[in-house]
Amino acid sequence: MTNPTTHVMKVTKRPYVQMVEGKGSWLYDEDGRTYLDFVQGWAVNCLGHAHPVMLDALQAQASRLINCSPSYYNAPMARLATLVAESSGLHDVYLCNSGAEANEGAIKLARRWGQRHRGGAYEIVTTHGAFHGRTLATMSASGKTAFEPLFEPKVPGFVKVPLNDLDAMAAAITDHTAAVMLEPIQGEAGVFPADDAYLETVRALTRERGVLLILDEIQTGIGRTGRLYAFEHTSVRPDIFTLGKGLGGGVPLAALVASTDASCFEPGDQGGTFGGSALMTAVGCAVMDTVNRPEFLATVRETSDYFVRRLAELAASHGHGAVRGRGLLLAVALTRGDAAAVVEHAFERGLIINAPRPDTLRFMPALNVTRDEVDEMLKLLEPCLP
Ligand code: PLP
């Protein structure tokens, strides 16, 4: 029999397993094997697999209008923009399809703003270890060492500094700078938070120097850290921020969000065929209506407290290191062994977790994961730990 995956371009290593169904925190493959999913489409399925509010939204919207082209407004597009604007305090929302597309838009918007308001300044200060996406500009903005030799020449205009180093940040902002761009928690780098005090000082510094602050909330947004937006743990309000992943709860949906002062695209500067389609934005509205409720977000924080405590106990009992992160974006440091091997072993036992670096395990479960599922996860993980 021919291998049915033969024609799938091999852009990533994956085990030969085809997933056929998902429900809540559980995934099922074609052979009927069950997996407890603590990666959830890479921190995407914030309500878990096949949540009824998403299914209802998909069905109801698909039978009315899927896509009327970006040439016209549609009702879910307008409603989702309103929900994001009103919940964030920023004014303008551009809806698109992926995190990289939203960040590419943020970079363009900062360059546009620099042309208009800062004498043509176009540099953007980003951080070592940052991950902003896989388009050419967002790879150039990223501070991932593995990206350095790839696809030269890079898009120019990105200056990199170490995360949480205020002196380096202050020195990097010059007359050529249009913006500073940061993740509140560096997710792909291995769950390294920007300190709250650092974010607040960078906000003050960017105001003082007259440059924009862009926050990449693709991984941290939509309740992932226990607040709707991670910046809400601080007094910081960015000029621009981006959302993706959880915003669509599993469907391709992302957003570029800008304050009135920063929002300076002219008609024609930005666009895309699928951006703001009625079907995707209807799902985004259903996700926002579910996640942006005080009791939902309080439960994320409570589950997180429980998860952090139990994970730290397990790690300590095996001589491993500290738990990092916030809400349900968590990681644990391994003091020995290879995290990739742990992930492989866990997968064989029916547990899906992730190793963003050789000494780190990362967990990004559904935001409505239960304590019993956390307990089950730890039970499956324990025998895999070195
Ligand atoms: N920015 C951050 C912080 C991310 O974590 C990711 C994806 O992991 C992206 C951007 C890119 O998003 P996408 O894969 O949807 O293009």
Could you tell me what percent of the chain has a pLDDT over 90? Answer: 98
Q: How far apart are CA 291 and CA 19, in angstroms?
A: 26
Determine whether domain 53-291 maps to CATH 3.40.640.10: yes
Tell me the CA–centroid distance for residue 313 and ligand 1, in Å: 31
Locate the ligand 1 atom nearest the alpha carbon of residue 244 and give its number: 15
The verdict on the CB of residue 218 being under 6 Å from ligand 1 is yes
Domain ranges of the chain: 19-51+295-384, 53-291
Mutate to test the pocket of ligand 1, among 44, 96, 132 (most ligand atoms within 8 A of CB): 132
Q: What is the pLDDT of residues 280-326, one digit of tens each?
A: 999 999 999 999 999 999 999 999 999 999 999 999 999 999 999 99
pLDDT value, residue 3: 85
Strand-by-strand arrangement of the 19-23 sheet: 19-23, 26-29, 34-37, 351-352
pLDDT band at 16 (very low <50, low <70, confident <90, very high): confident
Tell me the CA–centroid distance for residue 319 and ligand 1, in Å: 32
The verdict on the CB of residue 127 being under 6 Å from ligand 1 is no
Tell me the CA–centroid distance for residue 242 and ligand 1, in Å: 10
Q: What is the pLDDT of residues 181-201, one digit of tens each?
A: 999 999 999 999 999 999 999
Q: What is the DSSP string of 103-142?
A: HHHHHHHHHHHHHHHSTT--EEEEETT----SSHHHHHH-
For β-strands 158-161 and 192-193, DSSP reports them as unpaired
Tell me the CA–centroid distance for residue 316 and ligand 1, in Å: 31
Q: What is the pLDDT of residues 76-111, one digit of tens each?
A: 999 999 999 999 999 999 999 999 999 999 999 999
Mean pLDDT over 238-267 rounds to 98
pLDDT value, residue 203: 98
Tell me the CA–centroid distance for residue 11 and ligand 1, in Å: 16
Mean pLDDT over 151-180 rounds to 98
Mutate to test the pocket of ligand 1, among 131, 140, 147, 274 (most ligand atoms within 8 A of CB): 131
Tell me the CA–centroid distance for residue 329 and ligand 1, in Å: 14
Cis preceding linkage at 153, omega within 30: yes
Among residues 231, 287, 264, 273, which one has the least CA distance to residue 45? 287
Residues whose CB falls within 8 Å of the CB of residue 305, separated by 6 or more in sequence, listed in order: none
Residues annotated as part of the active site: 131, 216, 245
pLDDT value, residue 1: 64
- Would the pLDDT of 337 be above 70? yes
Average pLDDT, the chain: 97
The verdict on the CB of residue 244 being under 6 Å from ligand 1 is yes
pLDDT band at 328 (very low <50, low <70, confident <90, very high): very high
pLDDT value, residue 109: 98
Cβ-contact 223, 288 below 8 angstroms: no
Structure tokens at 20: 């056929």
Q: How far apart are CA 225 and CA 206, in angstroms?
A: 24
pTM of the model: 0.98
Locate the ligand 1 atom nearest the alpha carbon of residue 134 and give its number: 16
3-state SS assignment for residue 99: helix
Mutate to test the pocket of ligand 1, among 95, 218, 362 (most ligand atoms within 8 A of CB): 218
The verdict on the CB of residue 242 being under 6 Å from ligand 1 is no
The verdict on the CB of residue 100 being under 6 Å from ligand 1 is yes
Among residues 255, 205, 213, which one has the least CA distance to residue 231? 213
The domain covering 19-51+295-384 belongs, at the CATH homologous superfamily level, to Aspartate Aminotransferase, domain 1 (3.90.1150.10)
Same CATH topology for 19-51+295-384 and 53-291: the answer is: no
